[in-house]
Amino acid sequence: MLIGKSEIRHAVLGAAIALGAAGCATMPIPNEQLAVAKASVQRAEQAGAPELAPVEMAAARDKLARAEKAAANRDAQPATQLAEQADADAQLAEATAQEQRSHKAAVELDANLQALRQESSRNAQSNQ
């Protein structure tokens, strides 16, 4: 059985329609993930991460910028992945900054307690 020109045209047209529909079914731009990542980066910045966790903060900012660029280029999958990674890096930066501040406060508290003990000991000896 021979295939006619009109059947070939219909097959090509059907394939073109199917490809066009598949192109419309791509992933949407991850606006929610980008917003979450931006908020996480801002929280980390406010927590002092640029000074206390600079490596983690730089990674978060870099990945957020790359995610925004991918989103602008309509590359949804890399934009989603980079936004999620930026969010995780920003959370790590924030946690690292908080841990650094807590450690510093603990060291200062220990030093103050030691000074108080020494002064108390001196006062006890001078009262005898």
Q: Which residues of the chain have pLDDT under 50?
A: 1, 21, 24-25
Write down the pTM of the prediction: 0.69
Measured torsion, CA atoms of residues 88, 91, 58, 39, in degrees rounded to the nearest 10: 90
The domain locations on the chain are: 29-100
User: For the segment 59-93, what is each residue's pLDDT rounded down to a tens digit?
Assistant: 999 999 999 999 999 999 999 999 999 999 999 99
